[in-house]
């Protein structure tokens, strides 16, 4: 788990903070008061290179000469549209023993046997929405596609999510290898390929819908914080 040193701050004067190389932010959650903070820009950018959206981060908050530590998740980052530098960041503290929902990113590794044969690797989901206690949620789902041949897939049921629960049906396809048209396929095989692509398109639409957080009642990282 990554650690980030931050300082509590008074609200306002955010331009002065940014000129000083600091990024204003806020940490909030169901069991704590909303706390305005400031972070060194270089420390925040270094953190971004290490974590994903579902990574736990330990905030060490310095306030009036004392330091308190909170486990948080990255919630929202506002970027400058011209320089692409972070302007404001929100962190969410779920509270002890409270489950939450998070999108866990998917990463594929290896070169598929089917791709070596001329097929195309089709990644249908870039992330999976999961539910569980903060410590049970993985920061990344790594899928080894080396053994996938033409027409083969990895489904939700094939992935070990540990103690977290994926909020997708077990039969949902995450990654598949499809054959390009004209690759020596028979009429029947072409028809089967069209049917498979249609199904994948429908699954992709479902993913967009299911990826939207539904409720913050159980500590979902989908609540909003007051920005500046």
The pLDDT assigned to 216 comes to: 32
The separation between CA 228 and the C-alpha centre of its own chain, rounded to angstroms, equals 24
> Is residue 221 domain-resident?
no
The pLDDT assigned to 96 comes to: 82
CA distance from start to end of the chain: 28
CATH number of the domain to which 45 belongs: 2.40.240.10
Pair (146, 190) in one structural domain: yes
pLDDT tens, 132-143? 999 999 999 999
Pair (33, 82) in one structural domain: yes
Pair (137, 81) in one structural domain: no
Q: Each residue of 64-101: b (16+ CB within 10 Å) or e?
A: eeeeeebbbbbbeeeeeeeeeebbbbbbbbbeeeebbb
> Is residue 161 domain-resident?
yes
- Rounded to an integer, the average pLDDT of 67-83 is 93
Q: Which residue did the predictor score with more confidence, 222 or 163? A: 163
> Is residue 159 domain-resident?
yes
Report the distance separating Cα 141 and Cα 123, nearest Å.
13
Q: In which band, very low, low, confident or very high, does the pLDDT at 175 lie, cut at 50, 70 and 90?
A: very high
The pLDDT assigned to 179 comes to: 83
> Is residue 11 domain-resident?
yes
CATH number of the domain to which 181 belongs: 2.170.120.20
Residue 214 has pLDDT above 80, yes or no: no
Question: What six digits make up the tokens of 217?
Answer: 């009642």
pLDDT tens, 105-130? 999 999 999 999 899 999 999 999 99
- Rounded to an integer, the average pLDDT of 199-222 is 41
| DSSP 8-state assignment for residue 208 | H
Q: What rounded mean pLDDT belongs to the chain?
A: 83
pLDDT tens, 141-150? 999 999 999 9
Pair (105, 206) in one structural domain: yes
Pair (152, 108) in one structural domain: yes
Pair (163, 91) in one structural domain: no
Question: What six digits make up the tokens of 30?
Answer: 């169901």
Pair (75, 109) in one structural domain: no
> Is residue 63 domain-resident?
yes
Residue 187 has pLDDT above 80, yes or no: no
Q: In which band, very low, low, confident or very high, does the pLDDT at 10 lie, cut at 50, 70 and 90?
A: confident
Q: Which residue did the predictor score with more confidence, 182 or 27? A: 27
Domains held by the chain: number = 2
Pair (171, 73) in one structural domain: no
Pair (79, 167) in one structural domain: no
Domain boundary among 66, 96, 126: 96
Q: pTM (2 decimals)?
A: 0.72
> Is residue 153 domain-resident?
yes
Read out DSSP for 127-175? EEEEEE-GGGS-S-EEEE-TT--TT-EEEGGGS--TTSEESS-TT-EEE
- Rounded to an integer, the average pLDDT of 151-158 is 94
Q: Each residue of 193-225: b (16+ CB within 10 Å) or e?
A: beebeeebeebeeebeebeeeeeeeebbbbbeb
Pair (92, 118) in one structural domain: no
Q: In which band, very low, low, confident or very high, does the pLDDT at 1 lie, cut at 50, 70 and 90?
A: confident
> Is residue 12 domain-resident?
yes
Residue 81 has pLDDT above 90, yes or no: yes
Domain boundary among 78, 96, 114: 96
Query: Lowest-pLDDT range, 21-35, 58-72, 108-122, 176-190?
Result: 176-190
The pLDDT assigned to 12 comes to: 72
Q: Is 153:199 a contact under the CB 8 Å cutoff?
A: no
Domain encompassing residue 19: 2-96
Q: Is 63:51 a contact under the CB 8 Å cutoff?
A: no
Domain boundary among 72, 96, 120: 96
Pair (81, 114) in one structural domain: no
> Is residue 217 domain-resident?
no
Pair (109, 201) in one structural domain: yes
The separation between CA 59 and the C-alpha centre of its own chain, rounded to angstroms, equals 19
Residue 102 has pLDDT above 80, yes or no: yes
- Rounded to an integer, the average pLDDT of 185-197 is 56
């Amino acid at each position: 788990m990554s650690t980030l040193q931050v300082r509590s701050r008074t609200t306002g004067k955010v331009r002065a903070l940014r000129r000083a190389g600091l990024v204003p932010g806020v940490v909030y959650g169901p069991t704590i008061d909303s706390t305005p903070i400031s972070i060194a820009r270089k420390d925040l950018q270094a953190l971004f290179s290490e974590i994903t959206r579902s990574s736990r981060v330990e905030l060490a908050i310095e306030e009036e000469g004392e330091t308190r530590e909170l486990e948080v998740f990255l919630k929202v980052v506002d970027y400058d549209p011209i320089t692409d530098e972070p302007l404001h960041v929100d962190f969410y503290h779920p509270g002890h023993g409270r489950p939450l929902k998070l999108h866990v990113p998917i990463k594929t590794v290896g070169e598929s046997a089917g791709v070596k044969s001329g097929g195309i690797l089709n990644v249908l989901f870039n992330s999976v929405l999961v539910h569980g206690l903060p410590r049970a949620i993985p920061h990344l789902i790594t899928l080894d596609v080396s053994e996938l041949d033409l027409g083969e897939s990895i489904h939700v049921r094939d992935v070990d999510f540990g103690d977290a629960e994926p909020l997708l049906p077990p039969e949902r396809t995450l990654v598949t290898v499809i054959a390009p048209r004209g690759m020596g396929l028979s009429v029947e095989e072409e028809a089967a390929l069209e049917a498979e692509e249609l199904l994948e398109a429908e699954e992709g639409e479902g993913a967009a819908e299911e990826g939207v957080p539904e409720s913050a009642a159980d500590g979902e990282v989908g609540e909003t914080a007051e920005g500046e």
